[in-house]
Amino acid sequence: MDQNELKKAVARAAADYVKTRLDERTVIGVGTGSTANYFIEYLGEFKQDIQATVASSEDTAKRLKALGIPVIELNSAPEVSVYVDGADEANEYLQLIKGGGGALTREKIIAAVAKEFVCIADGSKLVDVLGSFPLPVEVIPMARSHVGREIVKLGGDPVYRDGVVTDNGNIIIDIHNMSIVDPRKLEQQLNQITGVVTNGLFAMRPADKLILGTIEGLRTLSL
Ligand code: 5RP
């Protein structure tokens, strides 16, 4: 099984799970990225039963609408019952690095609202210590140099993601070479830097369930 097959398998498992949770009030949060895209594809199979979704990016909203799946604004959703999204890295505490696709801020907002956050990923994303994957930070453009200098003070190597503008009109700085031994602390420290919109550490609000695809089969971790 290659990585794509593993992504498909976890996306299928998440769609099957969401299907069992549907009622007339269910709003599904939908993530961004290649794993989430498979999930969207599988949602299409029972779109007639879906009342509403909220999308974590413009790309996801476009994909959902193209399949005829209703998309509403988060502000119009009374609640988000379940949020399904991928990750760039995860640890055994279900803390994550997200934002490889640049959608971290909207992803974090939906995760904050969601009653349940189901993370889906191929098994290679599970690590002992977060940080091998460069940690994305969304930044207000005029604060780029300031935020970069503050990141250096925290011990990281900031790299501007050239040519990327987020759905919110901001830039991304990726933090390289940082072994994240205390994800909750670093998440808060980064949020304190003026000009940072948000960062890709999902530690204060980790996933509730992590479905991993491995060659031996699916592995589910829960908090
Ligand atoms: C996008 C994300 C994605 O969930 C993350 O990058 C994983 O992507 P993929 O499913 O393509 O491996 O956080 O901002």
**CATH code for the domain in which residue 83 is found:** 3.40.50.1360
Q: For the chain, what is the domain count?
A: 2
List % helix, strand, coil for the chain (3-state, nearest 5).
35, 30, 35
Best of 35, 124, 210 for a ligand 1 pocket test (most atoms within 8 Å of beta carbon): 35
Tell me, yes or no, whether 185 and 218 share the same domain: no
Q: Check whether residue 73 and residue 14 sit in a common domain.
A: yes
Q: Work out the angle at residue 214's Cα, subtended by the Cα atoms of residues 211 and 218, and round it to the nearest 5 degrees.
A: 45
Using DSSP's 3-state secondary structure scheme, residue 121 falls into: strand
pLDDT at 1: 76
Together in a domain, 176 and 157 = yes
77 and 142, same structural domain? Answer: no
Same domain, 98 and 139: no
The DSSP code for 126 is B
- Give the predicted TM-score (pTM) of the model: 0.96
Residues 217 and 191 occupy one common structural domain: no
Contact indicator for 70, 50 with CB cutoff of 8 Å: yes
Task: Name the residue type at position 121.
Answer: A
pLDDT for res 23: 86
Residue nearest to atom 10 of ligand 1 (CA): 35
Tens-place pLDDT, residues 177-208: 999 999 999 999 999 999 999 999 999 999 99
Q: Which atom of ligand 1 is the closest one to the Cα of 99?
A: 14
Say whether both 80 and 67 belong to one domain: yes
Same domain, 187 and 89: no
Which residue numbers are catalytic?
Answer: 107
What three-state secondary structure class fits 70?
coil
CATH number of the CATH domain containing 171: 3.30.70.260
Q: Helix, strand, or coil here: 48?
A: helix
Question: With a cut of 50, which residues of the chain have pLDDT below it?
Answer: none
| One domain for residues 44 and 119 | yes
Q: Are residues 10 and 73 in the same domain?
A: yes
101 Cβ inside 6 Å of ligand 1: yes
Are 74 and 174 in a shared domain?
A: no
* CB of 85 sitting under 6 A from ligand 1: yes
Domain that holds residue 46: 3-127+204-222
Residues 166 and 99 in one domain: no
Q: Is 83 helix (H, G, I), strand (E, B) or coil?
A: strand
For residue 7, give the ligand 1 atom closest to its CA: 10
- Between the CA of 12 and the centroid of ligand 1 the distance, in Å, is 16
Predicted pLDDT at 71? 98
